Amino acid sequence: MNATIKEYTDWLRDETEIYPADDGWMQLVLPDVNFNNDNLEVYLKQQPDGTVLYSDGKQTLRELDMAGVSVSRGKRKEEVTSILAAYGIRMQDEELLVQAPIGKKEAALHRLLGAMRELLDLRVLAQEKVKSFFLDDFQDLLLARDIPFLRNPTFYGKSGLAQTLDFALPQTKKRPETLIKAIGQPRQDRVLNAIMVINDTLALRPNSQGLVVLNDLEGLNADLEQALVSYQVPYQKMSERETLVRHLKPAA
């Protein structure tokens, strides 16, 4: 598990480019990409009190708006509020911000990136015929099958980082506590992050199990499945709903 975390952090560090920006800010260009396949950008600035302030430069919500996804009202607004609260991110004039002591700047960046990834995944995942979000689809499945769950739980991992899962299912007589990352847009960065989050969390919760649920509506790259197998992280495809339900709710 420690090797998984190291591989993820090494990849993030080695593939991140840093440039000076205006007014004392530094720009980080990260290997993570959005739905346009553009690299995510984060800005940081040292504050007078010695803390570090991170910002998304207002790009996250603007990207969603340009893609025709309004998050200013209704269900999407509620989802934004929930995601930001889960990661401890504040929003000011559509700018995502997080501030932390310099000794915890990596953890703050980790939280901001997690929120940005989930917000960008609010984009409608397929064509016009798809009317809901992937996370909502999965939640509706849990509700329909009477499977109790917690949404956006946060646990501390062995790394010391606060790891936010999408769902946690409490332990039953037939199934251990199950920690779930649901990936609406399966890509290398998303899958590698899910592997790291689950393994880091399970290192301190050895009696629990992890699960990655993948949206395979538009197909699935076999290399991503192989990565999950290689790191021994169980996964299920959303298209195979009955198999997924049997995994989450074993028969008595």
* Mean pLDDT, residues 47-60 taken together: 94
Could you give the percent of the chain with pLDDT greater than 90? 59
Does the pLDDT at position 128 exceed 60?
no
Q: What is the DSSP-derived secondary structure letter of residue 235?
A: E
Predicted pLDDT at 197? 94
**Size of the chain in residues:** 252
Distance of CA 107 to the CA centre of its chain: 14
Q: At what angle do helices 222-230 and 188-202 cross, to 10 degrees?
A: 20
Q: Tokens for 174, please give them.
A: 């037939």
What amino acid occupies position 25? Answer: W
Predicted pLDDT at 125? 43
H or E segment to which residue 246 belongs? helix 241-248
Reported confidence tier of residue 232, pLDDT bands at 50, 70, 90: very high
| CA-based max dimension of the chain | 62
| Residues 249/239, Cβ–Cβ less than 8 Å | no
Which is higher by pLDDT, 11 or 20? Answer: 20
| Residues 234/210, Cβ–Cβ less than 8 Å | yes
Predicted pLDDT at 136? 84
| Residues 203/181, Cβ–Cβ less than 8 Å | no
Q: Tokens for 194, please give them.
A: 């899910």
Q: Of 88, 40, 48, which is closest to residue 189 (Cα–Cα)?
A: 40
Alpha carbon distance 168, 165 (integer Å): 7
- Domains (ranges, CATH) in the chain? 2-120 (3.30.1460), 134-247 (3.40.1350.10)
* Mean pLDDT, residues 183-206 taken together: 92
Which is higher by pLDDT, 187 or 211? Answer: 211
Does the pLDDT at position 146 exceed 60?
yes
Q: What is the DSSP-derived secondary structure letter of residue 171?
A: P
Residues whose CB falls within 8 Å of the CB of residue 69, separated by 6 or more in sequence, listed in order: 76, 122, 123, 124
Does the pLDDT at position 130 exceed 60?
no
Does the pLDDT at position 22 exceed 80?
yes
Predicted pLDDT at 13? 74
Alpha carbon distance 16, 39 (integer Å): 10
Does the pLDDT at position 132 exceed 90?
no
Alpha carbon distance 24, 220 (integer Å): 42
Predicted pLDDT at 126? 37
Does the pLDDT at position 210 exceed 60?
yes
Per DSSP bridges, beta strands 209-214 and 235-237 are: parallel
Reported confidence tier of residue 94, pLDDT bands at 50, 70, 90: very high
* Mean pLDDT, residues 41-68 taken together: 91
pLDDT digits (tens, 9 = 90+) for 153-179: 999 999 888 899 999 999 999 999 999
